[in-house]
DNA sequence: CGGCTGATTGAATCGCCTCAAAGAGCGTGG
DNA sequence: CCACGCTCTTTGAGGCGATTCAATCAGCCG
Protein backbone atom coordinates (compact mmCIF):
# COMPACT_ATOMS: atom_id res chain seq x y z
CA UNK A 1 0.00 0.00 0.00
CA UNK A 2 2.97 2.28 0.33
CA UNK A 3 3.71 2.53 -3.35
CA UNK A 4 0.41 2.75 -5.05
CA UNK A 5 -1.96 5.52 -4.02
CA UNK A 6 -4.98 3.32 -4.32
CA UNK A 7 -3.44 0.06 -3.25
CA UNK A 8 -4.17 -1.57 -6.57
CA UNK A 9 -1.24 -3.90 -6.27
CA UNK A 10 -2.39 -5.16 -2.88
CA UNK A 11 -3.16 -8.88 -2.99
CA UNK A 12 -5.63 -8.67 -0.16
CA UNK A 13 -7.11 -5.31 -1.00
CA UNK A 14 -10.70 -6.52 -0.88
CA UNK A 15 -10.44 -9.34 1.63
CA UNK A 16 -8.70 -7.28 4.29
CA UNK A 17 -9.83 -4.59 6.66
CA UNK A 18 -9.52 -2.21 3.72
CA UNK A 19 -12.16 -4.08 1.77
CA UNK A 20 -15.13 -1.87 2.47
CA UNK A 21 -13.37 1.47 2.57
CA UNK A 22 -14.12 4.50 0.50
CA UNK A 23 -11.28 6.29 -1.24
CA UNK A 24 -10.67 8.85 1.45
CA UNK A 25 -10.09 6.23 4.12
CA UNK A 26 -7.95 4.22 1.78
CA UNK A 27 -5.82 7.21 0.96
CA UNK A 28 -5.41 7.98 4.65
CA UNK A 29 -4.37 4.44 5.42
CA UNK A 30 -2.16 4.27 2.41
CA UNK A 31 -0.32 7.35 3.55
CA UNK A 32 0.81 5.65 6.76
CA UNK A 33 1.13 2.06 5.57
CA UNK A 34 4.48 0.55 4.77
CA UNK A 35 5.30 -2.84 3.36
CA UNK A 36 7.50 -5.14 5.32
CA UNK A 37 8.78 -8.63 4.71
CA UNK A 38 9.47 -11.20 7.37
CA UNK A 39 11.45 -14.35 6.94
CA UNK A 40 10.25 -17.57 8.43
CA UNK A 41 11.04 -17.57 12.13
CA UNK A 42 11.57 -13.84 12.28
CA UNK A 43 9.56 -11.98 14.86
CA UNK A 44 7.66 -8.76 14.28
CA UNK A 45 7.21 -7.87 17.94
CA UNK A 46 7.97 -9.33 21.33
CA UNK A 47 5.56 -9.72 24.17
CA UNK A 48 6.29 -6.90 26.60
CA UNK A 49 7.53 -4.48 23.95
CA UNK A 50 5.91 -1.12 23.71
CA UNK A 51 3.17 -1.51 21.15
CA UNK A 52 4.22 0.51 18.15
CA UNK A 53 2.37 -0.94 15.19
CA UNK A 54 -0.55 -2.75 13.66
CA UNK A 55 -0.67 -4.37 10.25
CA UNK A 56 -2.55 -6.17 7.55
CA UNK A 57 -1.06 -9.50 6.68
CA UNK A 58 -0.59 -9.71 2.90
CA UNK A 59 0.92 -13.14 2.53
CA UNK A 60 2.29 -15.91 4.69
CA UNK A 61 1.31 -17.10 8.13
CA UNK A 62 1.98 -15.53 11.52
CA UNK A 63 1.52 -16.85 15.02
CA UNK A 64 0.79 -15.01 18.25
CA UNK A 65 2.32 -16.67 21.26
CA UNK A 66 2.30 -16.12 25.00
CA UNK A 67 4.24 -17.90 27.68
CA UNK A 68 4.05 -18.61 31.38
CA UNK A 69 6.67 -17.10 33.67
CA UNK A 70 8.66 -20.32 33.54
CA UNK A 71 8.67 -20.48 29.78
CA UNK A 72 5.87 -22.81 28.71
CA UNK A 73 4.55 -21.43 25.45
CA UNK A 74 1.19 -21.47 23.69
CA UNK A 75 -0.01 -20.04 20.41
CA UNK A 76 -3.11 -17.97 21.04
CA UNK A 77 -3.67 -17.03 17.45
CA UNK A 78 -2.72 -17.92 13.90
CA UNK A 79 -3.01 -15.24 11.25
CA UNK A 80 -3.52 -15.79 7.57
CA UNK A 81 -3.41 -13.41 4.61
CA UNK A 82 -5.91 -10.52 4.87
CA UNK A 83 -6.05 -10.85 8.66
CA UNK A 84 -5.54 -7.81 10.82
CA UNK A 85 -2.56 -8.02 13.16
CA UNK A 86 -1.96 -6.13 16.36
CA UNK A 87 -3.62 -4.50 19.31
CA UNK A 88 -4.93 -1.01 18.76
CA UNK A 89 -5.24 1.12 21.93
CA UNK A 90 -2.90 -1.10 23.93
CA UNK A 91 0.34 0.43 25.14
CA UNK A 92 2.26 -2.78 25.44
CA UNK A 93 2.43 -5.72 23.17
CA UNK A 94 0.88 -8.73 24.90
CA UNK A 95 1.98 -11.38 22.42
CA UNK A 96 5.04 -12.31 20.52
CA UNK A 97 4.29 -12.14 16.80
CA UNK A 98 6.38 -14.50 14.72
CA UNK A 99 6.39 -15.47 11.08
CA UNK A 100 5.58 -19.15 10.65
CA UNK A 101 6.39 -18.90 6.97
CA UNK A 102 7.92 -16.07 4.98
CA UNK A 103 5.42 -13.29 5.17
CA UNK A 104 4.61 -9.86 3.88
CA UNK A 105 2.74 -7.18 5.79
CA UNK A 106 1.36 -3.71 5.35
CA UNK A 107 2.42 -2.10 8.62
CA UNK A 108 0.79 0.95 10.19
CA UNK A 109 2.35 2.87 13.05
CA UNK A 110 -0.15 2.43 15.86
CA UNK A 111 -0.93 6.02 16.82
CA UNK A 112 -1.54 7.27 13.31
CA UNK A 113 -3.58 4.17 12.64
CA UNK A 114 -5.75 4.97 15.63
CA UNK A 115 -6.15 8.44 14.24
CA UNK A 116 -7.42 7.13 10.92
CA UNK A 117 -9.72 4.81 12.84
CA UNK A 118 -11.18 7.78 14.65
CA UNK A 119 -11.95 9.61 11.46
CA UNK A 120 -13.32 6.80 9.37
CA UNK A 121 -16.29 5.04 10.85
CA UNK A 122 -16.41 2.25 8.24
CA UNK A 123 -12.85 1.29 9.14
CA UNK A 124 -13.72 1.19 12.80
CA UNK A 125 -16.77 -0.88 12.02
CA UNK A 126 -14.69 -3.33 10.02
CA UNK A 127 -12.22 -3.64 12.82
CA UNK A 128 -14.99 -4.21 15.35
CA UNK A 129 -16.50 -6.95 13.25
CA UNK A 130 -13.12 -8.59 12.80
CA UNK A 131 -12.33 -8.34 16.47
CA UNK A 132 -15.63 -9.96 17.37
CA UNK A 133 -14.72 -12.73 14.95
CA UNK A 134 -11.32 -13.19 16.56
CA UNK A 135 -13.02 -13.37 19.94
CA UNK A 136 -15.21 -16.18 18.69
CA UNK A 137 -12.21 -17.99 17.25
CA UNK A 138 -10.43 -17.62 20.51
CA UNK A 139 -13.36 -19.03 22.45
CA UNK A 140 -13.66 -21.98 20.11
CA UNK A 141 -9.99 -22.58 20.74
CA UNK A 142 -10.60 -22.43 24.48
CA UNK A 143 -13.10 -25.27 24.23
CA UNK A 144 -10.54 -27.26 22.30
CA UNK A 145 -7.78 -26.58 24.82
CA UNK A 146 -9.91 -27.22 27.86
CA UNK A 147 -12.00 -30.18 26.87
CA UNK A 148 -10.64 -32.12 23.93
CA UNK A 149 -8.29 -35.09 23.93
CA UNK A 150 -5.06 -35.18 21.97
CA UNK A 151 -6.61 -37.25 19.20
CA UNK A 152 -9.53 -34.87 18.89
CA UNK A 153 -7.18 -31.90 18.85
CA UNK A 154 -4.99 -33.27 16.10
CA UNK A 155 -7.90 -34.51 14.01
CA UNK A 156 -9.62 -31.18 14.37
CA UNK A 157 -6.46 -29.35 13.43
CA UNK A 158 -6.14 -31.35 10.21
CA UNK A 159 -9.74 -30.61 9.34
CA UNK A 160 -9.20 -26.91 9.98
CA UNK A 161 -6.18 -26.97 7.69
CA UNK A 162 -8.22 -28.71 5.03
CA UNK A 163 -11.00 -26.16 5.29
CA UNK A 164 -8.51 -23.34 5.05
CA UNK A 165 -6.58 -24.88 2.19
CA UNK A 166 -9.84 -24.97 0.23
CA UNK A 167 -9.20 -24.69 -3.45
CA UNK A 168 -5.45 -24.92 -3.09
CA UNK A 169 -5.74 -28.44 -1.73
CA UNK A 170 -5.38 -31.05 -4.39
CA UNK A 171 -7.89 -33.84 -4.65
CA UNK A 172 -8.38 -36.32 -7.44
CA UNK A 173 -12.13 -36.73 -7.28
CA UNK A 174 -14.83 -34.77 -5.50
CA UNK A 175 -14.85 -37.18 -2.61
CA UNK A 176 -11.37 -38.58 -3.00
CA UNK A 177 -8.31 -38.11 -0.81
CA UNK A 178 -7.24 -34.54 -0.13
CA UNK A 179 -3.63 -33.53 0.19
CA UNK A 180 -2.69 -30.50 2.23
CA UNK A 181 0.54 -28.75 3.08
CA UNK A 182 0.88 -27.99 6.73
CA UNK A 183 1.85 -24.37 7.21
CA UNK A 184 3.89 -25.18 10.31
CA UNK A 185 6.21 -27.60 12.04
CA UNK A 186 5.22 -30.31 14.52
CA UNK A 187 6.45 -28.13 17.32
CA UNK A 188 4.24 -25.28 16.19
CA UNK A 189 1.25 -27.58 15.94
CA UNK A 190 1.90 -28.74 19.49
CA UNK A 191 2.21 -25.16 20.64
CA UNK A 192 -1.15 -24.38 19.06
CA UNK A 193 -2.97 -27.40 20.45
CA UNK A 194 -1.56 -27.24 23.95
CA UNK A 195 0.27 -30.55 23.55
CA UNK A 196 3.87 -31.70 23.31
CA UNK A 197 5.59 -32.36 20.06
CA UNK A 198 5.84 -36.06 20.85
CA UNK A 199 2.10 -36.37 21.42
CA UNK A 200 1.33 -34.69 18.11
CA UNK A 201 3.71 -36.99 16.34
CA UNK A 202 2.24 -40.08 17.98
CA UNK A 203 -1.30 -39.11 17.10
CA UNK A 204 -0.35 -38.62 13.48
CA UNK A 205 1.39 -41.96 13.46
CA UNK A 206 -1.71 -43.64 14.87
CA UNK A 207 -3.91 -42.07 12.23
CA UNK A 208 -1.53 -43.21 9.54
CA UNK A 209 -1.50 -46.72 10.99
CA UNK A 210 -5.31 -46.68 10.93
CA UNK A 211 -5.25 -45.72 7.25
CA UNK A 212 -7.03 -42.45 7.88
CA UNK A 213 -4.19 -40.31 6.63
CA UNK A 214 -0.96 -40.69 4.71
CA UNK A 215 2.15 -38.62 5.30
CA UNK A 216 4.00 -38.36 1.97
CA UNK A 217 6.43 -35.88 3.44
CA UNK A 218 6.74 -34.39 6.84
CA UNK A 219 4.83 -31.24 5.96
CA UNK A 220 2.36 -32.89 3.64
CA UNK A 221 -0.63 -34.89 4.73
CA UNK A 222 -3.14 -36.77 2.65
CA UNK A 223 -6.55 -37.28 4.14
CA UNK A 224 -7.76 -40.63 2.99
CA UNK A 225 -10.83 -40.97 5.16
CA UNK A 226 -12.19 -37.59 6.07
CA UNK A 227 -15.34 -39.12 7.56
CA UNK A 228 -13.24 -41.02 10.08
CA UNK A 229 -11.25 -37.88 10.77
CA UNK A 230 -14.42 -35.90 11.38
CA UNK A 231 -15.59 -38.63 13.70
CA UNK A 232 -12.30 -38.47 15.55
CA UNK A 233 -12.51 -34.71 15.93
CA UNK A 234 -15.75 -35.17 17.84
CA UNK A 235 -17.62 -33.14 15.24
CA UNK A 236 -18.83 -29.87 16.86
CA UNK B 1 -32.46 2.40 31.77
CA UNK B 2 -36.01 1.81 30.74
CA UNK B 3 -37.60 4.01 33.38
CA UNK B 4 -35.36 6.98 33.65
CA UNK B 5 -34.70 9.01 30.51
CA UNK B 6 -31.11 9.67 31.47
CA UNK B 7 -30.36 6.44 33.25
CA UNK B 8 -29.68 8.16 36.54
CA UNK B 9 -30.75 5.18 38.54
CA UNK B 10 -28.36 2.88 36.69
CA UNK B 11 -25.79 1.42 39.06
CA UNK B 12 -23.22 0.94 36.33
CA UNK B 13 -24.02 4.07 34.37
CA UNK B 14 -20.41 5.26 34.25
CA UNK B 15 -18.55 1.99 34.39
CA UNK B 16 -20.45 0.38 31.52
CA UNK B 17 -20.42 0.84 27.79
CA UNK B 18 -22.60 3.88 28.38
CA UNK B 19 -19.91 5.58 30.41
CA UNK B 20 -18.52 7.86 27.77
CA UNK B 21 -21.68 8.64 25.88
CA UNK B 22 -23.18 12.01 25.19
CA UNK B 23 -26.84 12.58 25.90
CA UNK B 24 -28.08 11.84 22.42
CA UNK B 25 -26.54 8.38 22.38
CA UNK B 26 -27.75 7.72 25.88
CA UNK B 27 -31.27 8.71 24.98
CA UNK B 28 -31.17 6.46 21.94
CA UNK B 29 -29.96 3.51 23.97
CA UNK B 30 -32.36 4.26 26.75
CA UNK B 31 -35.24 4.14 24.31
CA UNK B 32 -34.51 0.54 23.42
CA UNK B 33 -33.13 -0.76 26.72
CA UNK B 34 -35.23 -2.80 29.06
CA UNK B 35 -34.42 -4.09 32.51
CA UNK B 36 -34.52 -7.77 33.14
CA UNK B 37 -33.85 -9.90 36.17
CA UNK B 38 -32.45 -13.38 36.12
CA UNK B 39 -32.49 -15.83 38.98
CA UNK B 40 -29.45 -17.87 39.75
CA UNK B 41 -29.26 -20.74 37.29
CA UNK B 42 -31.65 -19.13 34.85
CA UNK B 43 -30.40 -18.77 31.29
CA UNK B 44 -30.70 -15.68 29.15
CA UNK B 45 -29.96 -17.38 25.85
CA UNK B 46 -29.04 -20.81 24.57
CA UNK B 47 -26.22 -21.61 22.24
CA UNK B 48 -27.74 -22.09 18.80
CA UNK B 49 -30.67 -19.74 19.38
CA UNK B 50 -31.19 -16.93 16.96
CA UNK B 51 -29.33 -14.00 18.42
CA UNK B 52 -31.94 -11.50 19.46
CA UNK B 53 -30.35 -9.34 22.11
CA UNK B 54 -27.35 -7.72 23.72
CA UNK B 55 -27.18 -6.27 27.21
CA UNK B 56 -25.31 -4.45 29.89
CA UNK B 57 -24.93 -6.42 33.08
CA UNK B 58 -26.05 -4.28 36.01
CA UNK B 59 -25.56 -6.65 38.89
CA UNK B 60 -24.69 -10.28 39.50
CA UNK B 61 -22.47 -12.67 37.59
CA UNK B 62 -23.08 -14.43 34.28
CA UNK B 63 -21.21 -17.21 32.54
CA UNK B 64 -20.87 -17.97 28.85
CA UNK B 65 -20.54 -21.65 28.13
CA UNK B 66 -19.95 -23.82 25.09
CA UNK B 67 -19.99 -27.56 24.79
CA UNK B 68 -18.62 -30.27 22.56
CA UNK B 69 -21.02 -32.36 20.51
CA UNK B 70 -20.96 -35.05 23.19
CA UNK B 71 -21.75 -32.65 25.99
CA UNK B 72 -18.47 -31.70 27.65
CA UNK B 73 -18.87 -28.11 28.79
CA UNK B 74 -16.52 -25.20 29.31
CA UNK B 75 -17.05 -21.64 30.44
CA UNK B 76 -15.48 -19.32 27.92
CA UNK B 77 -16.34 -16.14 29.74
CA UNK B 78 -17.45 -14.77 33.07
CA UNK B 79 -19.25 -11.45 33.12
CA UNK B 80 -19.36 -9.03 36.01
CA UNK B 81 -21.41 -5.87 36.58
CA UNK B 82 -20.84 -3.20 33.91
CA UNK B 83 -19.70 -5.79 31.39
CA UNK B 84 -21.25 -5.89 27.96
CA UNK B 85 -23.02 -9.11 27.10
CA UNK B 86 -23.78 -10.54 23.70
CA UNK B 87 -22.63 -10.77 20.13
CA UNK B 88 -23.54 -7.83 17.91
CA UNK B 89 -23.70 -8.65 14.17
CA UNK B 90 -23.98 -12.38 14.76
CA UNK B 91 -27.13 -14.10 13.62
CA UNK B 92 -26.93 -17.03 15.96
CA UNK B 93 -26.02 -17.16 19.58
CA UNK B 94 -22.76 -19.08 19.98
CA UNK B 95 -22.81 -19.43 23.75
CA UNK B 96 -25.26 -20.30 26.44
CA UNK B 97 -25.57 -17.35 28.81
CA UNK B 98 -26.50 -18.34 32.33
CA UNK B 99 -26.81 -16.45 35.59
CA UNK B 100 -24.28 -17.69 38.13
CA UNK B 101 -25.92 -15.56 40.78
CA UNK B 102 -29.13 -13.56 40.71
CA UNK B 103 -28.52 -10.88 38.14
CA UNK B 104 -30.00 -7.77 36.61
CA UNK B 105 -29.46 -6.62 33.04
CA UNK B 106 -30.29 -3.79 30.74
CA UNK B 107 -31.28 -5.65 27.60
CA UNK B 108 -31.20 -4.19 24.08
CA UNK B 109 -32.84 -5.89 21.11
CA UNK B 110 -29.94 -6.65 18.83
CA UNK B 111 -31.00 -4.98 15.58
CA UNK B 112 -31.98 -1.66 17.13
CA UNK B 113 -28.79 -1.77 19.18
CA UNK B 114 -26.78 -2.17 16.00
CA UNK B 115 -28.64 0.81 14.62
CA UNK B 116 -27.65 2.97 17.56
CA UNK B 117 -24.09 1.70 17.18
CA UNK B 118 -24.07 2.85 13.60
CA UNK B 119 -25.15 6.34 14.49
CA UNK B 120 -23.02 6.95 17.52
CA UNK B 121 -19.30 6.63 16.94
CA UNK B 122 -18.32 6.93 20.61
CA UNK B 123 -20.51 3.94 21.42
CA UNK B 124 -18.92 1.93 18.68
CA UNK B 125 -15.50 2.96 19.90
CA UNK B 126 -16.34 1.89 23.44
CA UNK B 127 -17.56 -1.46 22.21
CA UNK B 128 -14.42 -1.95 20.14
CA UNK B 129 -12.20 -1.21 23.11
CA UNK B 130 -14.18 -3.58 25.29
CA UNK B 131 -14.13 -6.29 22.68
CA UNK B 132 -10.37 -5.99 22.36
CA UNK B 133 -10.20 -6.33 26.13
CA UNK B 134 -12.35 -9.46 26.06
CA UNK B 135 -10.10 -10.88 23.37
CA UNK B 136 -7.10 -10.37 25.62
CA UNK B 137 -8.90 -11.98 28.54
CA UNK B 138 -9.81 -14.87 26.38
CA UNK B 139 -6.23 -15.35 25.25
CA UNK B 140 -4.95 -15.20 28.79
CA UNK B 141 -7.47 -17.89 29.59
CA UNK B 142 -6.19 -19.96 26.67
CA UNK B 143 -2.71 -19.98 28.15
CA UNK B 144 -4.18 -21.13 31.43
CA UNK B 145 -6.22 -23.89 29.81
CA UNK B 146 -3.45 -25.11 27.57
CA UNK B 147 -0.40 -24.92 29.76
CA UNK B 148 -1.15 -24.73 33.45
CA UNK B 149 -1.50 -27.58 35.93
CA UNK B 150 -4.54 -28.06 38.13
CA UNK B 151 -2.79 -26.52 41.14
CA UNK B 152 -1.74 -23.48 39.12
CA UNK B 153 -5.24 -23.12 37.72
CA UNK B 154 -6.93 -23.20 41.11
CA UNK B 155 -4.34 -20.94 42.76
CA UNK B 156 -4.64 -18.48 39.90
CA UNK B 157 -8.39 -18.58 40.11
CA UNK B 158 -8.33 -17.68 43.80
CA UNK B 159 -5.98 -14.80 43.10
CA UNK B 160 -8.25 -13.54 40.34
CA UNK B 161 -11.19 -13.65 42.72
CA UNK B 162 -9.19 -11.75 45.28
CA UNK B 163 -8.25 -9.08 42.78
CA UNK B 164 -11.83 -8.73 41.67
CA UNK B 165 -13.21 -8.70 45.19
CA UNK B 166 -10.96 -5.73 45.92
CA UNK B 167 -12.47 -3.52 48.54
CA UNK B 168 -15.32 -5.88 49.29
CA UNK B 169 -12.89 -8.48 50.56
CA UNK B 170 -12.39 -8.33 54.28
CA UNK B 171 -8.93 -8.30 55.73
CA UNK B 172 -7.82 -7.55 59.25
CA UNK B 173 -4.50 -5.87 58.53
CA UNK B 174 -2.93 -4.56 55.35
CA UNK B 175 -0.97 -7.73 54.85
CA UNK B 176 -3.18 -10.06 56.86
CA UNK B 177 -5.43 -12.87 55.67
CA UNK B 178 -8.05 -11.97 53.07
CA UNK B 179 -11.46 -13.55 53.01
CA UNK B 180 -13.38 -13.77 49.76
CA UNK B 181 -16.76 -15.10 48.76
CA UNK B 182 -16.63 -17.30 45.71
CA UNK B 183 -19.23 -16.20 43.19
CA UNK B 184 -19.76 -19.75 41.96
CA UNK B 185 -19.98 -23.42 42.85
CA UNK B 186 -17.17 -25.98 42.63
CA UNK B 187 -18.70 -27.32 39.48
CA UNK B 188 -18.68 -23.90 37.89
CA UNK B 189 -15.07 -23.37 38.90
CA UNK B 190 -14.18 -26.67 37.28
CA UNK B 191 -16.09 -25.69 34.17
CA UNK B 192 -14.12 -22.46 33.99
CA UNK B 193 -10.70 -24.01 34.58
CA UNK B 194 -11.15 -27.00 32.30
CA UNK B 195 -10.98 -29.46 35.19
CA UNK B 196 -13.37 -31.81 36.95
CA UNK B 197 -15.18 -30.91 40.11
CA UNK B 198 -13.21 -33.53 42.03
CA UNK B 199 -9.88 -32.11 40.97
CA UNK B 200 -10.88 -28.62 42.05
CA UNK B 201 -12.01 -29.94 45.40
CA UNK B 202 -8.81 -31.89 45.92
CA UNK B 203 -6.61 -28.92 45.09
CA UNK B 204 -8.46 -26.77 47.59
CA UNK B 205 -8.11 -29.48 50.21
CA UNK B 206 -4.38 -29.66 49.58
CA UNK B 207 -4.00 -25.91 49.93
CA UNK B 208 -5.92 -26.00 53.15
CA UNK B 209 -3.77 -28.84 54.43
CA UNK B 210 -0.70 -26.78 53.57
CA UNK B 211 -2.05 -23.87 55.59
CA UNK B 212 -2.21 -21.59 52.57
CA UNK B 213 -5.96 -21.13 52.71
CA UNK B 214 -8.82 -21.77 55.09
CA UNK B 215 -12.35 -22.69 54.03
CA UNK B 216 -14.72 -21.33 56.66
CA UNK B 217 -17.69 -22.24 54.54
CA UNK B 218 -17.98 -23.88 51.19
CA UNK B 219 -18.31 -20.60 49.31
CA UNK B 220 -15.93 -18.65 51.49
CA UNK B 221 -12.18 -18.85 51.33
CA UNK B 222 -9.59 -17.16 53.49
CA UNK B 223 -6.21 -16.62 51.95
CA UNK B 224 -3.68 -17.00 54.72
CA UNK B 225 -0.51 -16.99 52.67
CA UNK B 226 -0.97 -15.08 49.48
CA UNK B 227 2.74 -15.22 48.68
CA UNK B 228 2.58 -19.00 48.62
CA UNK B 229 -0.55 -18.83 46.52
CA UNK B 230 1.12 -16.49 44.04
CA UNK B 231 4.05 -18.87 43.91
CA UNK B 232 1.68 -21.76 43.25
CA UNK B 233 -0.06 -19.88 40.46
CA UNK B 234 3.26 -19.72 38.63
CA UNK B 235 3.15 -15.93 38.72
CA UNK B 236 2.54 -14.95 35.07
C1' DC C 1 30.26 -37.71 4.14
C1' DG C 2 29.51 -35.59 8.69
C1' DG C 3 26.80 -32.49 11.35
C1' DC C 4 22.65 -30.18 12.24
C1' DT C 5 17.74 -29.69 12.93
C1' DG C 6 13.33 -31.66 13.21
C1' DA C 7 10.56 -35.94 13.64
C1' DT C 8 9.65 -40.39 15.36
C1' DT C 9 9.61 -44.06 18.62
C1' DG C 10 10.12 -46.20 23.17
C1' DA C 11 9.83 -46.77 28.28
C1' DA C 12 8.40 -45.11 32.45
C1' DT C 13 6.15 -41.74 35.31
C1' DC C 14 2.75 -38.72 36.90
C1' DG C 15 -1.33 -35.96 36.87
C1' DC C 16 -5.92 -35.82 36.15
C1' DC C 17 -10.09 -38.32 35.26
C1' DT C 18 -13.52 -41.92 36.23
C1' DC C 19 -16.27 -44.37 39.14
C1' DA C 20 -17.96 -44.89 43.68
C1' DA C 21 -19.19 -43.87 48.31
C1' DA C 22 -19.52 -41.07 52.24
C1' DG C 23 -20.22 -36.45 54.31
C1' DA C 24 -22.09 -31.64 54.88
C1' DG C 25 -25.54 -28.13 54.33
C1' DC C 26 -30.25 -26.84 53.78
C1' DG C 27 -35.06 -26.57 53.08
C1' DT C 28 -39.41 -29.22 53.66
C1' DG C 29 -42.73 -31.60 56.09
C1' DG C 30 -44.06 -34.44 59.79
C1' DC D 1 -37.75 -29.46 66.63
C1' DC D 2 -35.95 -33.24 64.40
C1' DA D 3 -36.12 -36.42 60.49
C1' DC D 4 -35.82 -36.83 55.73
C1' DG D 5 -34.35 -36.04 51.16
C1' DC D 6 -32.08 -33.24 48.03
C1' DT D 7 -27.94 -31.11 46.22
C1' DC D 8 -23.26 -30.06 46.51
C1' DT D 9 -18.78 -31.33 48.24
C1' DT D 10 -15.26 -34.22 49.82
C1' DT D 11 -12.58 -38.32 49.85
C1' DG D 12 -10.90 -42.73 48.06
C1' DA D 13 -9.24 -46.28 44.73
C1' DG D 14 -7.87 -47.30 40.30
C1' DG D 15 -6.96 -46.52 35.42
C1' DC D 16 -5.64 -44.03 31.44
C1' DG D 17 -3.72 -40.50 28.71
C1' DA D 18 -0.28 -37.21 28.09
C1' DT D 19 4.20 -35.89 29.56
C1' DT D 20 9.07 -36.60 30.41
C1' DC D 21 13.37 -38.36 29.36
C1' DA D 22 16.09 -40.60 26.06
C1' DA D 23 17.49 -42.68 21.87
C1' DT D 24 17.03 -43.38 17.00
C1' DC D 25 15.81 -41.86 12.51
C1' DA D 26 15.13 -38.77 8.36
C1' DG D 27 16.10 -34.87 5.67
C1' DC D 28 19.15 -31.16 4.38
C1' DC D 29 23.08 -28.25 3.80
C1' DG D 30 27.85 -27.45 3.90
> In this prediction, what percent of chain A has a pLDDT beyond 70?
94
CB A232 within 8 A of CB A155: yes
- Say yes or no: Cβ of A186 under 7 A from any atom of strand C: yes
- pLDDT per residue of chain B (236 residues) written in tens, 0 to 9: 444 556 888 999 999 999 888 889 999 999 999 999 999 999 999 999 999 999 999 999 999 999 999 999 999 999 999 999 999 999 999 999 999 999 999 999 999 999 999 999 999 999 999 999 999 999 999 999 999 999 999 999 999 999 998 767 667 666 778 999 999 999 999 999 999 999 999 999 999 999 999 999 999 999 999 999 999 998 65
- Say yes or no: Cβ of B158 under 7 A from any atom of strand D: no
Could you report the per-residue pLDDT of A55-101, keeping only the tens digit for each? 999 999 999 999 999 999 999 999 999 999 999 999 999 999 999 99
> In this prediction, what percent of chain A has a pLDDT beyond 90?
86
Amino acid B235 CA to nucleotide C15 C1' distance, rounded Å: 21
Q: How far apart are CA B159 and CA B175, in angstroms?
A: 15
Q: How far apart are CA B15 and CA B62, in angstroms?
A: 17
Question: Would you state the pLDDT for residue A6?
Answer: 65
- Say yes or no: Cβ of A228 under 7 A from any atom of strand C: no
Quick one: which of B158, B137, B164, B131 has its CA closest to B212? Answer: B158
Percent composition of chain B: helix, strand, coil (DSSP 3-state, to 5): 40, 25, 35
Q: Nearest Cβ partner of B138 from A64, A129, A135?
A: A135
Secondary structure tally for chain B: helices H, strands E: 7, 12
Nearest CA in chain A to B134: A135
Nearest CA in chain A to B144: A68
Residue B168 DSSP label: G
Amino acid A68 CA to nucleotide C3 C1' distance, rounded Å: 33
Q: What are the C-alpha distances in Å from B186 to residues A45, A76, B164, B165?
A: 39, 27, 18, 18
Kindly report the pTM of this predicted structure: 0.95
State in Å, rounded, how far the first CA of chain B is from the last one. 39
Amino acid sequence: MSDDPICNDCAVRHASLCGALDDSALVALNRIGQRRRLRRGETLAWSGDTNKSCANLLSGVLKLTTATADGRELSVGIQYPADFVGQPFANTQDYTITAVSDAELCVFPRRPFEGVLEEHAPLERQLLVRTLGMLDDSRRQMLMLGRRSAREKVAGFLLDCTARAGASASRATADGPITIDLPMSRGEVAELLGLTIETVSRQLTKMRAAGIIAIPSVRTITIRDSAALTEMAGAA
